[in-house]
Structure 1
């Protein structure tokens, strides 16, 4: 059964926006004009959730619905609404987290951002919100984002059998780190793990779910990320092995306990190498150290920083492998170095 709300033509745009904001517009069908004995009307296609709206809409059954053809691309869906110059600036990629679409829209398309958001929702009928991305800022690497369509910015994203609850306007979730999250999920069985920069559980939740370590201590300084970390521990049913700690990892990292330490943060990560190495057992262990580094220094600077910190503590280092995670910015790579620390 297909449902619609019938309204006067002059109220059509207002109702369409309300349906988008309320998350009950059916983007798979056309809005169409009809003529009845009572006059001319617009039929706005809606989902069953229209019944839950606070507004007193009269929801009717629609006969012979007309379906929209799914566009091959975002540019295809915007042809006829944007000029050729504007079409050339339309983003070719975006991120879908749960039921939220995150997209970077260049300034040249500022006055077309709502139309772009509507087109994206039509391409992803299961999504309900579109936010515009402006990058990250501050010590906590918080996203700077603008809500374009929808009302909810909290979602649950499922990836590799794990659940990540988050507010996309408050915490980051990088699609470029997908393979590293998957790799971490294959390590640590039976081990004691310390996650120095746990965030919402990006790397340690997959490890807890799939590898089943003996224990994970996850430390996170950002209160908002920490709240989601605790929620994700519960959602993924790993409370029995995962201990969350809110605070500065240089002060709260336990010493001499870990078989493996995760350092999944970039920017100032090298400042925390000594407390990370101290967290490892006296007999040694594995360090996963992340850094953003100029491409020409990717094979030297991170390794040298690890060796310098280990030497200061009277430890030795064996560099096991360096993984390229993604291009961070022009000429700069995000890498992770796996290193064995021992006496």
Structure 2
């Protein structure tokens, strides 16, 4: 059974974004306008996950279905321009961030990179630039990227009802962490939260917008990321909730103040466990600890590191949940541990 919600046209963008954020927008069918007597309505297709109502509008069965025409694949766009061997080497996926396409192109297709970029812009006419991705580097995990087509690398990305302004050649934005950012946006109501590796606001902004925390202290050491963090605080109108601090979180994290601490960085995160635990209230609090770990150690090493740091401070640990976020690299997982830390 195919479902839709019928809403006034002026509510269209708001409800569409909620459907995308809630992952119940049916992208196989068209959003269309209907004229019922003298009333104009917008009909938004949704999946079974939408429930019985969305923002007070009932979910009903759709009678006359209009499906979207599937977009041509990258191979179809380039089948007359590339050899069979080259077609087989084309990237199978890419990342659309705001109005910029980010794509990894193998070295073997270096001479065809502009053709590939032109094809991608044809597939996504609302986008204005294509950027080639070479991975990340350095302590600040900065992206190594090349602008292939277009003039701009700065964009505003919408996610879960929040706005993130960024330059895709200067700061990272991981699509693989979407589920974790969405989950965190539901936590922290009425709490004091410390975000130790805030970046451009990946976790701080959704939490401030949706969860209703008392205060978020967002710490970021990278000057470029920090500049966008401040801009995103302004864009999302959460100046009264988020206090941005530029610097090393091991030095600038508060002591005995937080109900919850987010450690959303990977690589050397375990070196910051003790400052994170000191930031929590002596009466206890919740730690969200991220780590990249070999798959065979995923069930032991992150928890052992948390317990070791807690023991050094005379604190106790109760592990609440361990979650796999994504495969970070071959044989390596990105995991998150939620732990209660107390005396």
Scaled to the shorter chain, the TM-score interval is 0.7 to 0.9
Residue 275 of structure 1 corresponds to 275
Secondary structure of the residue aligned to 1:296 is helix
Residue 43 of structure 1 corresponds to none
Residue 84 of structure 1 corresponds to 84
What is the number of equivalent residue pairs in this alignment? 275
Residue 301 of structure 1 corresponds to 301
Residue 112 of structure 1 corresponds to 112
Q: In 2, are the aligned partners of 1:269 and 1:291 still within 8 Å (CA)?
A: yes
Residue 252 of structure 2 corresponds to 252
Q: In 1, are the aligned partners of 2:72 and 2:123 still within 8 Å (CA)?
A: no
Structure showing greater radius of gyration is 1
**Residue 109 of structure 1: CA displacement?**
0.4
Q: In 1, are the aligned partners of 2:261 and 2:276 still within 8 Å (CA)?
A: yes
Secondary structure of the residue aligned to 1:320 is strand
Residue 331 of structure 1 corresponds to 331
1:342 counterpart = 2:342: yes
Consecutive unaligned residues of structure 2, counting only runs of 5 or more, are: 1-68
Secondary structure of the residue aligned to 1:314 is coil
Alpha-carbon RMSD across the aligned residues, in angstroms, is 0.9
Residue 198 of structure 2 corresponds to 198
Q: In 1, are the aligned partners of 2:137 and 2:143 still within 8 Å (CA)?
A: yes
**Residue 316 of structure 1: CA displacement?**
0.1
- Supply the distance in 2 between the matched residues of 1:285 and 1:208 (Cα, whole angstroms): 18
Consecutive unaligned residues of structure 1, counting only runs of 5 or more, are: 1-68
Q: In 2, are the aligned partners of 1:70 and 1:123 still within 8 Å (CA)?
A: no
Per-residue CA deviations over 1:264-313 (Å, capped at 9, x if unaligned) read 00000000000000000000100000000011111110000000000000
- Supply the distance in 2 between the matched residues of 1:95 and 1:212 (Cα, whole angstroms): 30
Secondary structure of the residue aligned to 2:265 is coil
**Residue 70 of structure 1: CA displacement?**
7.8
- Supply the distance in 2 between the matched residues of 1:133 and 1:173 (Cα, whole angstroms): 12
Per-residue CA deviations over 1:303-343 (Å, capped at 9, x if unaligned) read 00000000000000000000110000000000000000000
TM-score, normalized by length of structure 2?
0.79
Question: Structure 1 runs of 4+ off > 3 angstroms?
Answer: none
**Residue 72 of structure 1: CA displacement?**
2.0
Residue 237 of structure 1 corresponds to 237
Secondary structure of the residue aligned to 1:281 is coil
Residue 137 of structure 1 corresponds to 137
Residue 151 of structure 1 corresponds to 151
TM-score, normalized by length of structure 1?
0.79
Q: In 2, are the aligned partners of 1:263 and 1:288 still within 8 Å (CA)?
A: yes
Q: In 2, are the aligned partners of 1:129 and 1:150 still within 8 Å (CA)?
A: yes
